[in-house]
Amino acid sequence: MDDRLRAALALPANASSDFDLNPALRQGPARKLRPAAVLIAVDDAGGVILTKRASHLRHHPGQIAFPGGRQDATDPDLATTALREAREEIGLDAGQVRILGTLPTHETVTGFLVTPFVARLDGAFTPRPEPGEVAEVFRTPLAHVIDPACYVIERRIWRGQWRHFYAVPWGPYYIWGASARILRGLAERMARCA
């Protein structure tokens, strides 16, 4: 699977955004985006590690997300950001992580420019969620999230207008928005390598 992931990550692709399905809602080009990074970590059993964000958080409370967050001034690069955030949020030791590559950036409606890092975990990993940020850590099968047929387009009212978004539900978890769009980009690339 590592070779197929690397091959998929090497394919050319465009950046994605929360506005892909809603171009009329896109904000102007003068909008300042804050750099951020997430870790799409695949374990030895073929599970992708995801979190359910704490309900009191300012951005995306209660939503399903990857470990990650905003780049700090002390982070020399975005890979460091992704690894630092994964350690802080779920207790993941950077020594267990092999970064395979990146997906194109993703612009969020909340003003972040997210770089997703795809990685493999070496050895067993027992999450230690940081209760101030993470309500739950779980795994969803990689086979599920790389299957384009598992994705649906749904809609909600947002700021008085219908907003369309990708979702890839799995079990009791509703993976949608930026997380689903990023995973959809990976699924599209994996399908091209099949």
pLDDT band for position 169 (cuts 50, 70, 90): very high
Average pLDDT of span 62-72: 94
pLDDT band for position 98 (cuts 50, 70, 90): very high
> Residue 194 has what pLDDT?
73
> Residue 54 has what pLDDT?
86
pLDDT band for position 65 (cuts 50, 70, 90): very high
Of all residues in the chain, the percent with pLDDT exceeding 70 is 98
Please give the model's pTM, rounded to 2 decimal places.
Answer: 0.94
The architecture that CATH gives domain 2-192 is: Alpha-Beta Complex (3.90)
> Residue 64 has what pLDDT?
96
Least confident interval from 39-48, 133-142, 151-160 = 151-160
> Residue 15 has what pLDDT?
95
> Residue 57 has what pLDDT?
78
pLDDT band for position 69 (cuts 50, 70, 90): very high
Distance, in Å, from the CA atom of 100 to the CA atom of 2, rounded to the nearest integer, reads 8
Report pLDDT digits (tens) over 27-60.
766 789 999 999 999 999 999 999 998 888 777 7
